[in-house]
Amino acid sequence: MVHVDDCSIVASSLPLIDHFKRMIKRQAEITDLGELHWILGVEVKHVRENKQLLLSQHSYIDSILRRYGLDDLKPISTPMDPNVKLTSAQSPTTMEDIAVMRNTPYHEAVGSLMYASLGTRLDISFAVQTVSHFATNPGLAHWEAVKRIFRYLKGTRELWLSYGGKKVDLEGYADADGSMMEDRRAISGCTFIINSGAVSWSAKRQKIVSLSTTESEYVAATYAAKEALWLHSLIYQVFGKTLPPTTLFSNNQSTTALAKEHQYHTRTKHIDVHFHFICWIIEEGKICLVYCPTEDMVADVFTKALPSPKVKHFAIALELVSI
């Protein structure tokens, strides 16, 4: 006997779902719980007239605000202050400061925020990545940055991650920024959008120390190219559909030229050969690297702290909407 607690069925139409359930019932006893409304703390809404699927973690956000006693904080419009730079020098050095931070639920709070950023709140990914970097020895300044993320979530708890409504092929955005990092390791940010909603995103610190903006952007584009290939494979396995070449946007013209032409240059000859993988992917027709102006670079939100107008602009571009 095989026992399965919960199982969700996804298909392109209701008749297909009904047919699948009839076939399963012939082989095993099942309990039909109806349309999916909640999964792992994520609320699911279907707007069938607009062919939209909406996901929200507003209940989860409320619960973590209460858990850490932060539900009385005043909401704010940005997850990080662009004018504040967090460094390891702000970590506690005296026994008094260490004692204060010992009673602060820093690790638990960052872990809770990480689940939200991986679920539906991709707009806090960079902020969460930044505060998690100081988890080994956090100071009061780092804790204030964590509380700011909670304040932002409180003010934007009604945002839903939307899919559908308009047909868009898979497209990606890759960006990098290292201006705020004390260890000189740039932050790579990328996101992939399909059917108008983000399906993959990341904000990660690069493992190398780049010597130029072109190099850090080139490395970020290579990371994104690998993710594009994985998405191609996943979509083919699930839907049996072979995607056309995916457009990958970069806001660095030197990066697009280097990836397409693969020209030798004294300032880029030191770049490790495995990062040139993107050149082969472009030649194979898997992706098409295209220049994108910085003001339209959606992945910018994954690489640095931005002012409120840009945070709102990119949240809308990622289909984080209020309903």
| Residue 156 placed within a domain | yes
Q: How many domains does the structure of the chain reveal?
A: 2
Residue 3 has pLDDT above 80, yes or no: no
* Whether 98 and 237 share a structural domain: no
Contact 194, 169 (CB under 8 A): yes
| Residue 322 placed within a domain | no
* Whether 101 and 198 share a structural domain: no
CATH of residue 176: 3.30.420.10
Q: Containing H/E element for 197?
A: strand 197-205
* Whether 53 and 196 share a structural domain: no
Residue 251 has pLDDT above 60, yes or no: yes
* Whether 171 and 266 share a structural domain: yes
Name the DSSP class of 48: G
Q: What is the mean pLDDT of residues 204-233?
A: 88
Summarize pLDDT for 16-75 with one digit per residue, the tens.
878 778 887 877 777 777 777 888 889 999 887 878 889 999 999 999 999 999 989 999
* Whether 113 and 28 share a structural domain: yes
* Whether 128 and 103 share a structural domain: yes
What whole-number distance in Å separates Cα of residue 262 and Cα of residue 176? 20
| Residue 235 placed within a domain | yes
Residue 97 has pLDDT above 50, yes or no: yes
Residue that wins the pLDDT comparison between 87 and 261: 87
Report the pLDDT value the prediction gives residue 263, as an integer from 0 to 100. Answer: 59
Of 135, 165, 195, the position where a domain reaches its end is 165
Summarize pLDDT for 170-196 with one digit per residue, the tens.
899 999 986 656 677 889 999 999 888
Residue that wins the pLDDT comparison between 203 and 255: 203
| Residue 197 placed within a domain | yes
Q: What is the dihedral of CA 314, 317, 318, 319, to 10 degrees?
A: 130
* Whether 197 and 216 share a structural domain: yes
Of 165, 200, 231, the position where a domain reaches its end is 165
| Residue 317 placed within a domain | no
| Residue 319 placed within a domain | no
| Residue 315 placed within a domain | no
Contact 58, 283 (CB under 8 A): no
* Whether 116 and 257 share a structural domain: no
Residue 157 has pLDDT above 80, yes or no: yes
Average pLDDT of the chain is: 86
CB atoms within 10 A of CB 169: 12
* Whether 206 and 216 share a structural domain: yes
Confidence of residue 2 (pLDDT cuts 50, 70, 90): very low
* Whether 124 and 177 share a structural domain: no
The residues pairing with 175 across neighbouring beta strands, listed in sequence order, are 189
* Whether 180 and 275 share a structural domain: yes
What whole-number distance in Å separates Cα of residue 147 and Cα of residue 110? 10
By residue range, what is the domain housing residue 258?
A: 167-307
Summarize pLDDT for 264-279 with one digit per residue, the tens.
565 666 666 667 788 8
| Residue 126 placed within a domain | yes
Report the pLDDT value the prediction gives residue 291, as an integer from 0 to 100. Answer: 93
3-state DSSP call for residue 175? strand
Confidence of residue 10 (pLDDT cuts 50, 70, 90): low
* Whether 127 and 197 share a structural domain: no
Q: Containing H/E element for 281?
A: helix 277-283
Of 165, 182, 203, the position where a domain reaches its end is 165
Residue 11 has pLDDT above 70, yes or no: no
Q: What is the mean pLDDT of residues 232-241?
A: 84
pTM of the complete model: 0.85
